Structures are given as structure tokens and as C-alpha cells.
Amino acid sequence: MRKTDFAFWTFLLMTGFAGAATVLNVSQTHSATTSNSDLYRQLDLFGDVLERVRSDYVEKPDDNKLIESAINGMLTSLDPHSAYLSPKHFRDMQVQTRGEFGGLGIEVTMENGVVKVVAPIDETPAARAGVLANDLITHLDGEQIVGLTLEQAVEKMRGPVNTPITLSIVRKDHEEPIEIKIVRDVIRINAVKSRQEGDVAYIKVSTFNEQTHANLVRAIQNLDKTIGKDLKGYIIDLRNNPGGLLDQAIAVSDDFLERGAIVLTKGRNNEETQRSQARPGDITAGKKVAVLINGGSASASEIVAGALQDHKRATVIGTRSFGKGSVQTIIPLGANGAIRLTTARYYTPSNRSIQAKGIAPDIVVEQELPEEMKAKAKKSNVRGEASLRGHLKNDKEEDEQSGSSAYVPKEAEKDTQLQYALKFLRGQITGTATTSASPQPPEKKAN
């Protein structure tokens, strides 16, 4: 049994390193052989521990969970962003990045053991069937929700397109529960929301999924027609945008650039370095652009902010971004899920590494916190990539200082960063920097 287990792990090792072996030259062969021998001994140790746990643990363990936990432990020890994705988590990630799935079209949360509707999404099956905000969903196809997690309840509501599901709903001012039958349809997650702010086009990009670039182009075209010749400029709001697909970040940056580099990705070896270039064509016709960022802006959103900042195509306003300057590759493992592995670092066009450092805005505008949040802010440090245990180090480790507040008020009139950007695009502010919620004398920012 022991030899069989060891042979299995040796097989995994050999197949996993088959691609890497092709890059070894003759001078590396001896050191590689020595290294492999050490690795085999460590795998033998793993086999010993695994068998001891399986035979002696107080309760019979699940073999699949043991192996998954071991794999995940190996990956998470590398950095905070590498991980094993079980088949279910892999499917969930695909739904998130694809931006569409079979479902009902409602935003939900969990309240007192039942699912509460935050809001139905416009023009979806739930909205057409009459589901309302604040409805409480107690049963799905006659089965109680009590005892399920929010994730489990959402999983039950999703499903193949054109399949029905019946929701039992408790609604305020209704004595009896309401039964609503809904037929699932394709639900598209709109990563881009836009609106007119007088003579300024405001565009909020919440994530970078497969729909982001197309939705952004559509939003800009619609706002151009609505505002017309009075358009003063565009606000691209990337605050609290956690990132997403690299190719979408490149496409969005390219929308505003005529030429030049967008992002550089550098892997372990020099031949893995790649440079993405902008193609001619600025869909905003060169009008002024302000990009909003804060401590919740990470990864793909930092690529966009960094590219537009380096090319001086946009003025970046807000506070320092999260500082996630690494690229993760999803490597499918067939029916066994996938691994998310950090394979490269990315750099802005001027060769700045953002890893554990973040994007420093051109104009620093801090958001005014409500009184109840000020005390909490003093007690807890703002978290960024630099504060994550095991994070990849910046090329210049002494420069690490990522992160800032991620608070954004719901009311536009109380949103200091948004109001500053509006005044900036309208030419009502000429100072180069401010360090607090209310305008202060200009402060020079060192680059």
C-alpha cells in the first residue's frame, strides 16, 4: 500500500514537471537530479504522514478532503492569491468571470435564517414575476431554506435556462405567504453602470468580467448621445473594484489610448515577459478623463489606473490602491477542479511595480468618514497587499505601503471624491492635490 501511494505521488510529480523539464540544459542536469531526489524523499514523508492520519486519527477521515487540504496548503503557502479550486468553486469562478448564468435575477442576502431580496434586477425573470425588494424567501420548490447557507440557497436558485422554480415569499402587509413560479433565464451581471451627472459622464466599473469592455463601450456611446456637445469629460469609477480578467483590463485601457504600452507582465524567466500595446482609437475622442481609486481598487483596476496615469491620459483621484501587482493563471485539472497559480508580476508602462505598493493618485482626496466609523478606523489599520501574510515582495521592498480606506458613501452629494472629480472636469478646481475631504492649499506630489 505504501509503495503504491508513493508511486502515485511520484507519477504526479513527474507529469507535473514534464513541461518544466524541457527547459533544462546540460549544466542544470546534475542539480536537477539532486533536487528531484530531495523532493522524492519529501514525498515519501508525505506518504508516511498521510497513512498515519488515515489509520490512527480519532475519526475516519475523508480521503478526498485530506488530499484537497494538502494541495491547498501547498498553494496557499506560496502567496495569498494561489489556491486550489474544487470543482464547485471552479464552476463558481467561471460564472463570475463569464458574467452570465442561468438564474432568476435577484440580489439577495441572508437575514434571520431566510433569504432576503435586496433588489430584483431589471428585465429579469424575477422582476417580471413580481418579486420585490425586502421580500423574504422561505421555501424553494416547497423545501425550507432554514438551515442552508446563503451560498447553498443561491446554488438552488440557479440552474439550467428554461427550468421552473417556485418561491415561497413572506411579504410585509401580506398575511399569507405568496407562491411565485419563475422560469430561469440567462442572467447577465452588468459590470458597468453609468449615469449623467449634468455635463459629465459617470461610469462605474465594478469588476472585470467577460462583459466589461463591451458594456463600457456601450455606456460611453449612450452618454455621448445623451449629453452631446456639452460633455465636459468622463469619470471612470474603479473604487472597490477587486479586479478580474487581465485581457479585459487591457481592452478597457486601450479604449482611452491611441498608442504605447498598457501593461508589462514578467514571469520567472525572461522569455516569459510580455508587453501589451494599445491600438489606435480613443473612443472618448481625447476628452478629459478622471479615474477614481481607493483602498478597494485592486489588480485589474490598478492596471487600468496605472496605464492611464503613466500616459497622462487621465488624472487619478482618490487614495492609494490595494497593491495587488501579480497575475494568476487558472490551470484546469479536468474533473478535479483547477488551481489558481501566481505566474507573473505586472508593471505599468513606465516599468513601475505595483506589488505591495499600489497606485498613488495624482490628486489625493480622502473620503470623509461618518462619526460611527471614525472610532473603528482609529482602532484598525487599513489593509492592503503589503499587510497580507506571505505576500510577494516588491522589487524595492522598502517602498511597500499599499492600501487606504475603502469607504464610499451611498449618497452622491456626500461622496467627496466624486464631487471633487466633477469640479475638476468642469475646471472649477485648479490645485494639484488635496489631502483631506475639504479642499486645501495645493500640495506638490513627488513622483
Our answer to whether residue 410 is catalytic in this structure is no
Cβ neighbours of residue 327 closer than 8 Å, sequence gap 6 or more: 246, 265, 342, 343, 344, 345, 346
Give SS3 for 117: strand
Our answer to whether residue 299 is catalytic in this structure is yes
Calculate the CA 431 to chain-centre distance: 33
Our answer to whether residue 253 is catalytic in this structure is no
Q: Which of 301, 324, 326, 353 is catalytic?
A: 324
Judge whether 301 and 293 are in contact, CB under 8 Å: yes
- The strand ranges marked E within 333-432 are 338-347, 363-364
What is the C-alpha to C-alpha distance for residues 157 and 436, in angstroms, rounded to an integer? 45
Handedness of CA 60, 62, 67, 71 (dihedral sign): negative
Cβ neighbours of residue 117 closer than 8 Å, sequence gap 6 or more: 106, 107, 108, 126, 131, 132, 133, 134, 135, 136, 137
Convert 248-281 to b/e letters by CB count within 10 Å (16 or more is b).
bbbbbbbbbbeeebbbbbbeeeeeeeeebebeee
Single out the residue of 240, 275, 262 nearest to residue 313, CA to CA: 262
What is the C-alpha to C-alpha distance for residues 411 and 297, in angstroms, rounded to an integer? 20
- The packing angle between helices 63-76 and 29-56, to 10°, is 140
What is the C-alpha to C-alpha distance for residues 200 and 196, in angstroms, rounded to an integer? 6
C-alpha cell at 304: 487600468
Q: Which of 82, 299, 301, 404 is catalytic?
A: 299
Q: Which of 310, 321, 402, 415 is catalytic?
A: 310
Which residues are catalytic, by number?
299, 310, 324
